[in-house]
Amino acid sequence: MAKMFERLTRPSMRKLVPGGIITEHGITFERLTTGDGVFTVNIMVDGQRIHRVIGRESDGTTRTQAEEFIEKARRDAREGRLHLPKAPKIALGFREAATGYLEKLAEEGGKDLVMKRRPLSLHLVPFFGDIPLSQISTFDLERFKKSHVGEGAKVGTVNRELAALSHLFTKGIEWGWIDKRPAKIKRYTEEQERITYLTVDQIKRLLEAAQHD
Which pLDDT belongs to residue 1?
45
Q: Are residues 72 and 147 in the same domain?
A: no
**Distance from C-alpha of 62 to C-alpha of 56, rounded to nearest angstrom:** 8
Identify the DSSP state of 56.
E
Please give the average per-residue pLDDT across 21-43, as a whole number: 92
The pTM of this model reads: 0.50
Residues 57 and 129 both lie in one domain = no
pLDDT score of 27 more than 90: yes
Contact between 113 and 106 (Cβ < 8 Å): yes
Q: Same domain for 116 and 163?
A: yes
Is the pLDDT score of 195 beyond 90? no
Alpha-carbon distance 157 to 170, whole Å? 20
Are 111 and 192 within one domain? yes
12-16, 48-52, 89-93, 198-202: range with highest mean pLDDT? 12-16
Domain boundary residue, one of 31, 50, 78: 78
Q: What is the CATH number of the domain that holds 111?
A: 1.10.150.130
Number of domains in the chain: 2
List, for residues 152-175, the tens digit of each pLDDT value: 889 889 999 999 999 999 998 988
pLDDT band at residue 104 under the 50/70/90 scheme: confident
> In which domain, by residue range, is 187 found?
88-213
Helix H or strand E segment including 19? none
Q: CA geometry: angle at 42 spanning 39 and 46, to 5°?
A: 140
Q: How far is CA 59 from CA 21, 52, 83, 201, in A?
A: 19, 16, 28, 95
In a domain, 5, yes or no: no
Domain presence at residue 2: no
The whole-chain average pLDDT of the chain stands at 85
Q: Are residues 104 and 207 in the same domain?
A: yes
59 shares its domain with 96? no
Question: Is residue 181 very low, low, confident or very high in pLDDT (cuts 50, 70, 90)?
Answer: very high
Phi, psi of 54 (to 5 degrees): -80, -45
Q: What percent of the chain has pLDDT over 90?
A: 39
- The predicted-structure confidence for 118-136, as pLDDT tens digits, reads as follows 889 889 999 999 899 999 9
The residue-averaged pLDDT of 133-140 equals 91
Report yes or no on 1 lying in a domain. Answer: no
Q: Which residue has the higher pLDDT, 166 or 198?
A: 166
Is residue 124 located within the same domain as residue 29? no
- One domain for residues 64 and 96: no
CATH code where residue 26 lies: 3.30.160
| Per-residue model confidence (pLDDT) at position 84 | 55
